Amino acid sequence: MSMLEQKQSLQMHQGMRQFLRIEQSALLEMPQSELSSLISEIEHSKLFDRLFKKEKIIRYNKLNQADISGKFYTLKEDLIADSQSPDVETLLSNKKRVIEYIRKIGLENFKKYFLLPEEGLSNVELANKCNLEISQVKDINALVDDITIMNEFYHPSKVSSIDINYSKIASIGRDKIGFTIGYFSVALAKGRYNIDYEKFEQMEISKGLSYGEIKEAKKLFHKLEMINRCKETLHRILNNIIEIQAGYLDSGDIRTILPLSQKELANKIGISPGTVSRAIKYRTIEIPQGREVILKDFFAGPKKLKITLLKKLLETEAGLLSDAQIQKMLVEKHGVNISRRSVADLRNTLKIPPKNKRRFVRR
């Protein structure tokens, strides 16, 4: 290969890597509802259906320490009671019949064969394994499709913001072994796609697929690998947050949050800080104590932690507090060593006036 050819090959390789980074960035920044819809659209294509159910070239492989959230199976009482929710009565009434089918086969079989299947089975195979009519299998699959796309309707984030729509992606639980990640999204809970490239190559050689199908299959595999990277990146970030902030997750006490920057976490798992930022943007998790926490709140420097505690103190304590009183309470209640001058600086950062200029509000 000539020097010119080598240079062109290198430029092409670098261009492809840049293109892949752009694609992955777009997926990571995509709102959870849009990502779920995209995945659902891909999985309902005829080619995916054939390669998954008939040819067994595509399989699912759950991510480490991950499952569907135990809260996935229950609808919030306040959601059911909310008559303003879109078509809630219709949605629930249409599902009563299907829920009876699920009760008939049991939650374990529902999860194994419909919700998180490792390999694809045809409707006839599912009907035989679960002792159902084919029409009942179709109804259950339709319910799963609906829940997959409308996950944020069934499990909405309670974090309120005027300009931002947050996505609650998981609940963190604890078992005898350690922490677990329970995803609310079926797409995330299914895990990564395992593609049997060797079997695909054999089909290509034996003409088991047409030229057009081979070309489309390669495009499909590219999309699936990009989704794999997106899922794995988010999962690795969550796993590392859990590992580093285990004390906080165990206690729920904000004082136990360790200082952590996005750059530090990025270096630890070998990705760019920008990738971490895109992956956690507008996403929340539910911690074992039942509170919903914005993922960005797990990344706090010492100053940010002190500001958070100061703000919380001023919001929850009755009466007017002087900087000296705030300093004393931060030391006694939260174990934070801070000077009175630093308290004043942080208060000014929050644009809160000193005691003599604040109005007393009786609670």
The gap from C-alpha 332 to its chain's centroid, in whole angstroms, comes to 37
pTM higher than the cut 0.85: no
Is residue 278 over pLDDT 50?
yes
- For 192-197, what is the mean pLDDT? 96
3 falls in which pLDDT band (50, 70, 90)?
Answer: low
Mean pLDDT of 22-29: 78
Task: Give 168's strand partners.
Answer: 284
CA distance 43 to 185: 15
Q: Which of 59-73, 120-134, 267-281 has the lowest mean pLDDT?
A: 59-73
Q: How many helices and strands in the chain, by DSSP H and E?
A: 18, 7
- Is 42 a residue whose pLDDT tops 70? yes
C-alpha–C-alpha distance, residues 84 and 204, integer Å: 53
The percentage of the chain sitting over the pLDDT mark of 70, rounded to a whole number, equals 84
- The ranges assigned to domains in the chain are 24-76+155-297, 302-357
